[in-house]
Amino acid sequence: MKPFLGEEEALAVAEAVRSGWVAQGPRVAAFEEAFAARVGAEHGVAVSSCTTALHLCLHLLGVGPGDEVVAPSLSFIATANAIRYCGATPVFADVDPVTGNLTGSTVAEVVTPRTKAVLVVHQGGVPADVHAIRIAAGGVPVVEDAACAAGSTVYGRPVGAGALLAAWSFHPRKLLTTGEGGMVTTDDADWAARLRRLREHGMSMSAADRHAAGGAVVESYVEIAFNYRMTDIQAAMGLVQLRKLDGIVEQRRELAARYHEMLAPMGLRAVTDPAHGTTNYQSFWVALPEGAPPLADVLSRLAGSGVSARRGIMAAHLEPAYAGHPHGPLPATEDLARRSLILPLHHELTSADQRRVVGALAQAIELVAS
């Protein structure tokens, strides 16, 4: 991944600095409005990262000690950690081996009377089947970890449209970046108001509003909360980035189509659109075939040929931080974590680069006689 940044972002950031208002202010408000509109939600609440966005969503729903939250283990570790921040227990559900996402049936298998929320991930940009998962959750709130999914669609609408609560990331590994940053989107005005308070120390009135009011306005602190604010410097960059989203998605889908063409003759399975939506190809993963050398060897052979590939989506339950954490069988999760790798995909990649990547991969997994 390479962030798609240019002179426009640099100028917008400089302008925010020159304005003298560098903390959360008018640019954050404008970015929230523009981003929420783009993903089909009524409200956006900008925060410092997707990790803090996930924490706020679960805190808002009252998730706490003794509660269970269903989530995939196959995700960046922040998904599971956000549940732990609330003192609750992540209950790992398995994923579909083709999409890498939770399904209605894997969720239904692990829902119990203690399930307080389901945290579904649109992994690597591939939309999860939110309709089926909402039905399986049976009235338990479904929060969407949409960190990777800006510009993906599900059932003909943008991921985020119709979501109870969706959490987004603007880390440089994602399609849009503000350096670090995140957002919660929702259609619920009361929730949006509470989220704004939760991100800003539980203050009755935001610092920006107090400033705009003039005179002596004294705020009160109505609940114990957090400092998870985004800055206007970041939002200035986000506003420029957002205008590029459609173009970025279009180009990534073209590059992915070219990878698919090149990989097809090798019989390798790669990530693709599910039946219920389209992916933004945030991560282009390939599953190694049976009998291929171990993933670590393939990655180091690729590095030796100058190709910077990465292991595929991680599985939290296989990491030391979750050693001993109880879970049921997770065969598809473990298979994908051990056998998938992510190929380079960014806006400067040429078709010659892609041929070189695929050639190096073929050699690394010994599909061609060396």
Ligand X SMILES: *Cc1c(COP(=O)(O)O)cnc(C)c1O
Q: Does 76 bind ligand X (CB under 6 A)?
A: yes
Q: Does 340 bind ligand X (CB under 6 A)?
A: no
Query: Which of 2, 116, 174, 244 is an active site residue?
Result: 174
Backbone CA torsion sign across 350, 352, 358, 363: negative
Helix (H/G/I), strand (E/B), else coil: 157: strand
Phi, psi of 100 (to 5 degrees): 75, 15
Phi, psi of 182 (to 5 degrees): -160, 180
**Min. distance of Cβ 80 from ligand X in angstroms?**
10
174 noted as active-site residue: yes
Comparison of 183 and 358: residue with beta carbon closer to ligand X: 183
Q: Does 75 bind ligand X (CB under 6 A)?
A: yes
Comparison of 115 and 123: residue with beta carbon closer to ligand X: 123
**Binding piece for ligand X, criterion CB under 6 A, among 75-83, 150-158, 190-198, 332-340:** 75-83
**Binding piece for ligand X, criterion CB under 6 A, among 9-17, 71-79, 232-240, 290-298:** 71-79
Comparing C-alpha atoms, which of 180, 186, 160, 283 is closest to residue 237? 180
Comparison of 199 and 301: residue with beta carbon closer to ligand X: 199
**Binding piece for ligand X, criterion CB under 6 A, among 74-82, 99-107, 158-166, 316-324:** 74-82
Phi, psi of 120 (to 5 degrees): -100, 140
**Min. distance of Cβ 301 from ligand X in angstroms?**
26
What are all long-range contacts of 82-87, with beta carbons under 8 Å and residues at least 24 apart?
82/51, 82/54, 82/55, 82/57, 82/58, 82/119, 83/58, 83/119, 85/55, 85/58, 86/55, 86/58, 86/59
Residues 134-153 binding ligand X (CB under 6 A) are: 145, 147-148
**Binding piece for ligand X, criterion CB under 6 A, among 45-53, 190-198, 232-240, 289-297:** 45-53
Q: State how far the Cα of 257 lies from the Cα of 272, in Å rounded to an integer.
A: 9
Among residues 49, 73, 99, 186, the one that binds ligand X under rule CB under 6 A: 49
Instruction: Give CA separation, 119 vs 97, 103, 115, 252, in Å.
Output: 18, 12, 11, 27
Among residues 73, 79, 103, 206, the one that binds ligand X under rule CB under 6 A: 79
Comparison of 91 and 361: residue with beta carbon closer to ligand X: 91
Q: 304: buried, middle or exposed (CB in 10 Å: 19+, 13-18, 0-12)?
A: exposed
The binding site for ligand X (CB under 6 A) comprises: 49-51, 75-76, 78-79, 121, 145, 147-148, 169, 171, 182
Q: Which active-site residues does the annotation give?
A: 174
